[in-house]
Amino acid sequence: MNSADGDSNRIDVWCAFPQDITDAALLQQYRDLLTAGERQQESRFHFSRDRQRYLVTRALVRTVLSRYAPLSPAQWVFGANAQGRPHIANAGMQHAISFNLSHAGNLIVLGVTRDGALGLDVENVSVRKIELDLADRFFAPAEAADLRAQDAADQQQRFFEYWTLKESYIKARGLGLSIPLDQFCFRFPDRHSIELTVHPNQHDRAERWHFSQGHIGADYLLAVCSERVNREAPRLVFKQIVPLQSESDLDFQPLRISK
């Protein structure tokens, strides 16, 4: 999987499990790829698990992006927009690759594609508990009503189905929470499909976006929002990776997809 693939309709989703990467020499290799500023940021985390997750995240981004362009992992330069969304800042590379990150528990996901905006959100649905009042306050009214209508045993799953989709959308647009969460609404016409409506004041078209949602293992729910580059649904390819060491195919269990 590298830059030679050249498939604009493909989204690669790279998954790393930072707590499983314990080799001290390998972790030092990761640290050697970082800028001085990134090393300082790593040291600021109080807990060792947070330092490790940050280190693996930065190494993951740098090593994976080098599969798509003729730059070494240490050569990548990054910036951020006003809402904090990171982007590639190397000259001539700003629009060549789109990537997005999310993490939850012991999982980091990095999505990479060649054309169009991209947003991902992953949540650990086995440990994070929901608050229905949060949906009442921030979700679109129809979403909150649908959540309340679910059996108590199903509300946890439904909450995160909405949450991950909404997070993936605002990340793909690059505007974060400057987009009010009640100004766009998801609907599930049947068990396996997704529909989006957007309030006119958001100046966006729902048909501009494609959504995929599913499970990675039993604990994690992932949503992917991608800008449509043609009429075909994007092809998602999942890999588990230990940066600089190994990679393997990873099972993704689809739940819902845009029509």
- Look at 232 and 57; give whichever has higher pLDDT: 57
Q: Which two tokens stand for residue 108?
A: 């980091």
Q: How many domains does the chain have?
A: 1
pLDDT band of residue 3 (cuts 50, 70, 90) is very low
Q: Is residue 76 part of a domain?
A: yes
pLDDT of residue 6: 59
pLDDT digit string, tens, across residues 153-200: 899 999 999 999 999 999 999 988 889 999 999 999 999 999 999 999
Does residue 30 surpass a pLDDT of 60? yes
Q: Is residue 98 part of a domain?
A: yes
Q: Is residue 5 part of a domain?
A: no
Q: Is residue 1 part of a domain?
A: no
pLDDT digit string, tens, across residues 53-112: 999 999 999 999 999 999 999 999 999 888 888 899 998 887 789 999 999 999 999 999
Phi, psi angles (nearest 5°) of residue 123? -135, 145
Prediction pTM value? 0.95
CATH of the domain at 114: 3.90.470.20
pLDDT of residue 124: 95
Does residue 4 surpass a pLDDT of 70? no
Q: By residue range, what is the domain housing residue 110?
A: 11-258
